Amino acid sequence: MAGKETNNFKRALGDALGVIEEARTSLEANGGIGESVKTKIATHEGWVCDAADDWIADFTAKCSPIMGEFDTAWTELDSMWRNEPDEVDEGNWRGNSYNASGHRPSNIPV
């Protein structure tokens, strides 16, 4: 009977969920994507003209979908995480041989 190993792939997914949540929280705490750029441009430190207003509106429109992408990434990773078992059979690529640093072990199917 084969032994069991911790599912390190699931651990890596959990770590990624934490990174996404921390990044999103940090962005929200600072007013969202590009807020510091918009503030600098819209105040005495930046442009004072109609072109600045147009640029800020365009920049805001381009940045607005980004926060939703954090939600999408979190939802997709959370689904993957929930579907992974806590333990895998000994020798499984998701167990002790899984390397979360980005280097694929040779036994992971391509």
Rounded to whole angstroms, the Cα distance separating 37 from 56 reads 9
Tens-place pLDDT, residues 61-80:
888 888 888 899 999 999 99
Rounded to whole angstroms, the Cα distance separating 50 from 101 reads 47
Q: What is the pLDDT of residue 88?
A: 96
Question: 0.85 cut: is pTM over it?
Answer: no
Buried b (16+ CB within 10 A) or exposed e, 79-93: eebeebeeebeeebb
